[in-house]
Chain A
Amino acid sequence: MIFIRRLRQNPSRLKGEKSTALDLARGRLALMGGVFILVYLLLALRAVDLTVVQAKKIDPDLRIADRTTQSPNKPGNLMRADIIDRNGVMLATTLKTASLFADARFIAEPKAAAAALKKIFPDLAYGETLQKLQSGKSFIWLKRNITPDEQKRVLEIGEPGLAFEESTKRFYPQEGMAGHLLGYTSVDNQGLYGIERSFNGYLSEHTEPLRLSIDVRLQHALRREVAATVKEFKAIGAAGVIMDVNTGEILAGVSLPDFNPHDFSIVTEDQSFSRLTQGAYELGSVFKIFSVAAFFENRDLPMSTTFDASEPIRIGGFTINDFHAEKRVLTIPEVFMHSSNIGTAMMAQSIGGVKLQEFYTDLGLLDPMAFGVKEVARPQVPNPWREISTLTASYGHGVTTTPLQVAAGVSTVVNGGTLVKPHLVLSDEPDNTPDIRVLSESTSHKMRQLLRIVVSEGTGSKAAVKGYNVGGKTGTAEKIVNGRYDNKKKISSFVGVFPMDAPKYAVYIMVDEPIGTKRTWGYATGGWVAAPAVARTIASIAAIEGIPPQFGPDHDLASNLKQYIKLEEKR
């Protein structure tokens, strides 16, 4: 012990031993006592400080908030990531909502509480609520997903047995505008459709928003025009897409009828079916774009090459006729602008079914398209592929594919010939995959000329927009009802591309079972139904993107094709 050691070290202090030791002990006691008094005084001061002085500083809101269950952003409890459009406009977000429950053991005045709740939530029945509050159970749901204002009013009742549980709810500010691409989630925030489904893993594990290629302004313009067309022609549905022909970015995509993602429980099968990606249709003459491109790729022949379309083709009890019959010998531009089935079938025949099928496949028309959502259809080809299949496929009959794939195929054809892979999600990383060439630059140029002349002189004249060099192709196909073509039920479509001298946008609109009107002289063909909608959409794109119009013949790509065309007197 220190004391003993000290004693040994200091023999001189041993004088008067006893009294010194007593004094020493007393002194130490006093010191210890002093220290303790000091410490307790400090504690007492601190207690006063905490309870009296600082008590006012604590935020009263916080004390209330502490009582409700907080769910901070713990890992595994992340808010599902937002989805935004290409400009950062919010397409989907997650909001916290409170759900009201009762702990009936702590309900002080059930009748007063039930009456007060009835006042806040008129849809709650008084009797039922009272029964719940008197049940004595420790947990009963009263009302799910209430607003912050309602929550405040419930708190003001001051009933200790009423409590809230925080949960999250997916919210779509743009509502159903891009519903089929965006999709929706279940009540427990699992993606059930569209991007919400295919990117469920990313969205539930990240906080960074997922950026889509969609532009809400274009999406709205497209949806407006497609909806107007459906209404005007009393169609049962329609699909539309705007695509960047160089990158394959889907700028807008719509399928009607569509649905409100907030209310997916009442969505019908017809509403949830995406005509854009899940519907594989015989799309008719728009396929002539691909057939004529295949012809140029395989046969090095000039535009002046002629085909005799004066007589229908008869093969195996089947007759191929022209809808806009010219009944004469046609050059390639004439075949294309008058949409001659006979001429296109002859072109397909001259290159053969194998080459034609290969070309369609290279364009991605015959395989299910992987582009970001899982709801896609499998295109159908005739099996077995007979000679007649080659002829009918050339003008889009017997082969089915989705509207989205047609838009992608057309993009590939007009952009200089490199394969376009449609996609919906924008990536920050530059795309380093090498370009895949499907057709030559010169074929692509010829096709741009041909598409332009369809609008400037041919069946697609209603798609023209002054100053914007629109090119395109009509398509009208009859639907198969009970195994035979029904000429009353049509799939009418138009694909437009602009500006034709350096294409940037492809717009494809397909209308399902339109009915001709007085204004269209009863016609319900692609040129009458879909082409005007495409024209209006293109005018909107130009206005939204601020693309200045260009006038004058210098910009008309197709002017040097006119030498191959016998122009009608009336034009």
Chain B
Amino acid sequence: MIKAENISIRLGDEEILKEISTTFDRGKTNLVIGRSGSGKTVMVKCLIGLFTPDVGSIYFEDKAIKVMNENEKRILREDTGMLFQGGALFDSMNIEENVMFPLRMFSNKKRPEMLARVNEVLKRVELENVNKKFPDEISGGMKKRVSIARAIVNKPKYLFCDEPNSGLDPKTATLIDNLIQEITKENNITTVVVTHDMNSVMEIGEKIVLLKNGRIVWEGSNQEIFKTDNKDISDFVYSSDLFKKIRDIQIEEQ
């Protein structure tokens, strides 16, 4: 479980996050949604410790980051997997070395054991026979899957995904969404996904946090979206004609 309590952060002259308080539960895919510039990525960067909030606290299993010593922070980071928007794979390493990297850094396993685990996670993300390829030799969707494999290879307790399906075709995007949800359930981990993709919201949004101008303006599940009369979430979700039609059909059916 991850809890943000009243966090605010200012970058330059602008206050990016304002009094954010929410909880992300274990075993659920938690989504942070909002328009571009609403503060989603900054919020996740605060959660993973790349940014330090000016005000407020972030708790991992009831322990605040700001009271953790360096060793506790290091252990927490070893328990954290992150899927970056662009994949952030290491260019100088092949796929196998990329996925093996966290194991080499933090485990005392022998190379054959590490290799077995790498092959296991690559198979889990439906990638095989790519071990010796380099990141610039594979497609965007494959890069995302390699990045997921690298994020989960060390069996993390927390998984963060920044725009996991941006720039992907709808079929690959759905595949990535389903993969994230399945991995969350299988490993009972706390997953936080930043997205503005409405398909993701509808498919895997067990808990959704809507940010607007750095504030949380709505929280709920994908099931609650259709029932809520909150103007902000309605404006965001039904900004597309397709979803407006879906809503009209739902209303008609009711």
Indicate whether A and B interact. Answer: no
